[in-house]
Amino acid sequence: MNKIPPVNVEDKELWLEINTFQCKYGRFSPEACEKLRERAEQLSSAKKIDDKTYLTKPICCKECKEWKKLSEEVYEKRREYLEQLRTQNEKKVKGEKRQKKKNVKMIICSLCGKEKRLYARGLCAACYDKVYRKDRKKKRKKK
């Protein structure tokens, strides 16, 4: 049984659906069910909270045989939900990359006359380097 920690979800109903199961005793997460099953069965060995309250194993937990199946179902729901989140995040990332590419402005370069992506000052990258590289060399020589 691969244990997967509880999934954090904003919606309370969705959180209950993903992280808990319904048994005879109530609605529990696999972690809470495990803690109930670990409790002592006898009053003499039970943990005492105050004078009248002892933490003992509930009667239905003593007889329960479905806890493994129910816990595994919850772990499977968590796995599916996490996988669904991963695929949504991957789609968002791909969509953002596409949007970045779509924002590229195409121009007709004023020097070479070819249709290319705008680099700076109305020129493509190759022409911009040719023109402004000369200017940079001249400025360096003057200094």
Taking residues 14-22, report their average pLDDT. 91
Look at 32 and 42; give whichever has higher pLDDT: 32
Closest of 24, 21, 5 to residue 71, by C-alpha: 21
CA distance 98 to 94: 6
pLDDT, one tens digit per residue, over 101-135 is 666 788 888 888 888 888 888 888 888 888 887 77
CA distance 77 to 56: 30
pLDDT, one tens digit per residue, over 34-80 is 888 888 777 667 777 776 777 777 777 888 888 899 999 999 999 99
Taking residues 82-88, report their average pLDDT. 90
Q: How many helices (H) and strands (E) does the chain have?
A: 5, 6
